[in-house]
Chain A
Amino acid sequence: MESIMPDMQPMNQTVQETPQFRVLTEDQIEQIYFAALDVLERIGSRVHQDEALELFRNSNEAVVSEDKRVRVPASLVERALKTYPRKITLQGRNGKRSVALQKDHVYFGTGSDLPFTYDRKTGERRRTTYKDVTDAARIVDALPNFDFFMSHGIVSDVPNPQTYDRHQFMAMLEGCTKPMVVTSVDGEGLEDLWKMACLFQGGEEEFRLSPMFVAYIEPISPLTNDHSAVEKLLFAAEKGIPAMYTPCPSSGATAPATIAGMLVQSLAETLLAAVMCYLKNPGMPLIMGGVTTVMDMRTTTYSYGAPELSLASAANTDISKWLNLLMFSTGGCSDSKWLDEQAAIESTLSLLTAFLSGANLVHDVGYIDSGVNASLESLVMNDEIIGMVRQVGKGIRTDDEGLALKVINEVGPGGEFVTHDHTYAHWRDWFFPKLMDRSDWETWNSEGSKTMSDRVNEETQRLLDTYEPQPIDDATRKGLQEIIDAAEKRHSK
């Protein structure tokens, strides 16, 4: 029966379309921020690069000491902070502007430069090769829940460690069309990678509007900026290349043993970079970052699985949002040496927490062995976990259709909903497992009693056997090769 009543929405309704999650109050964030400013005024940060020191000297506000320590007044920091963009949209070599970095948009991707890889044939670990990076790239390109790619491994089978980054980027491009985060040896390396990317994006200006990658750069905690890091940062500032300056403090060793203290120091390191970039080129696209975790006090491992990593990263993300900076965070990683239940647990907790926090780029997905070992299977496993995590982001629908009061009344006590149209219309909103098994005991046995490890392994092999990314056209390939060859030539002397 058609209703004659108008469709009436109740008024004054605020709806949480997504969950809300927050670690710190604004008051707490302010305390951490003021403490970081205090650190920059009192002790500062050491900068091992002459151009940067010159920039600070010429500012007439920063104080540069004999020992290369730079101290910065709060007023200069606050001025610098006003200049950074709140939005950066990355475009892969496939031409899709698929990663829209803006407040509370969350994207997941791998980490980079793992020295070792588990060989899928022998099960033993060995040095990571060019092919390993291409394989990881293809898998990330194929998996729907990965949004950006870092190299996962570090290519070791290259002629010269001083030019490995160009080959590594080439390996990444071969396999993956999604936006990337790249590492480079030094400023010159970054320049080559940027030139390579510009070949796809259609030149320097186009790259600035639709950058293909973010440059990954890290200071050394506590409060130290080495030469090549600063060189890369200044180059990125000059060219308007998005860059993250991401401290990796270990609480108790290279940062205070309290999370708040670690965040203060980490923020001071970030703010110094913010001022440095501001002095070079105000408004360059800088992204805040941090792998904020503890040093395990029994094994001295820099822990990628510690719950503190999740908590501190989420708190750090709260700070980034308050500062209007985009955030590069961490999740989906593990201390386990093997892709096992430990890796599953540590990945799940950190991914769920990172997603809820609203960090923009969540990296290191698939790291095992505390950032030492690469495993292709771990990428496949994490893709499933991210799918579950994103289900939380769908929130709870509370309109008339969601409340289903008429349906409930119609079915009544003791009835069933399986055959109801309402169920037919909505069951597809649920999460669809690809690797999680939900069969009954008999079916499971008759289908070979497979564990999730078995299924992850099979899926990894299937992707490796079948997935072909969109190829690179010959002209572009030639241009890429020229840049690489030129670099080799320069460095062969």
Chain B
Amino acid sequence: MAVDFGKMADLLIAGKVEDVSNMTQEAIDEGLDPQEVLQNGLIAGMDVVGQRFKACEMFIPEVLRSAKAMSAGMDKLRPLLSESQAKAAGTMVIGTVKGDLHDIGKNLVAMMFEGAGFKVVNLGIDLDTQVFVDAVKEHKPDLLGMSALLTTTMPRMGEVVNALKEAGIRDQVKIMVGGAPVTGEFAEEIGADIYGANAASSVDKGREAVGK
């Protein structure tokens, strides 16, 4: 029996994490093309979620449920996608800079990127500059996200950008910054590429910047 992509998308929209994961496995077991499963099942579902969110029919907790389902499906698919296909889905490293233990905003962005099919490496909070540098070396992400809620910790983001330059890997990655006191001008000042004003627009801008 062929896998019903419509149903898969519906389950994803409904935020059924287990069901989406199981159904993705079924599709794999049936020998379907993983790229097709990704496009017609998972991404098709997330597209509807995105539309409904913009129309105020779905709200953040529901969107995040769907994102989690998307992520669960991606976990099954990722090992099977060809390298170029896996790369096409995108990888992001994200964390909160040294001195800042606020992380709800950063977590929201991470979860929303998972919903966009990205592999997200969430480094956590209160991170030394070197942790970011090492993570960029190790994971070779398309995007590096950093957040700060306090004006006292904001300058740390600039330090990370400089450290990446010194390590000679600045150009391998697009850098996105966000947090309540951060602005587009500040992002420009410290040499970041993208300013994420909120979780939803971060994903839009991030995808655009890395062409995903």
Binding site for B on A (CB under 8 A): 48, 113, 115, 154, 156, 161-162, 164, 185, 220, 224, 226, 228, 250, 252-254, 257, 295, 297-301, 371-372
Contacts and interface: CB of A to CB of B under 8 A. Distances in A.
A298 B101 contact: no
Nearest to B103: A220
B59 A250 contact: no
B16 interface: no
B60 A161 contact: no
Nearest to A161: B152
Contact of B151 (A48, A164, A226, A228): A164
Interface string B169-202: 0000000000011000000000000000011100
Contact of A252 (B61, B102, B154, B180): B61
A286 to B, nearest CB: 22
A465 B93 CA distance: 51
A250 B99 CA distance: 21
B56 A298 contact: yes
A40 to B, nearest CB: 20
Contacts of A164: 151-152
B105 to A, nearest CB: 8
Given A115-B180, A297-B59, A297-B60, A224 B154 contact: no
B108 interface: yes
Interface string B142-154: 0000000001101
**A48, A154, A300 — most chain B CB neighbours (10 Å):** A300
A161 B155 contact: yes
13 contacts: A161-B154, A185-B152, A224-B101, A250-B104, A253-B104, A297-B59, A298-B53, A298-B56, A298-B60, A299-B198, A300-B198, A301-B198, A372-B181
Given A115-B181, A220-B101, A300-B198, A156 B60 contact: no
Contacts of A162: 152
A316 to B, nearest CB: 20
B101 A372 contact: no
A343 B132 CA distance: 40
**B53, B105, B152 — most chain A CB neighbours (10 Å):** B152
A154 B149 CA distance: 13
A156 B198 contact: no
A15 B61 CA distance: 49
Contacts of A372: 180-181
Contacts of B151: 113, 115, 154, 156, 161, 164
Interface in B49-66: 53, 56, 59-61
A115 B181 CA distance: 6
Given A113-B151, A161-B155, A300-B105, 15 more contacts: A115-B180, A162-B152, A164-B151, A220-B101, A220-B102, A226-B101, A250-B104, A257-B61, A297-B60, A298-B53, A298-B56, A299-B198, A301-B198, A371-B180, A372-B181
A115 B179 CA distance: 11
A256 to B, nearest CB: 12
A352 B171 CA distance: 54
A48 B152 contact: no
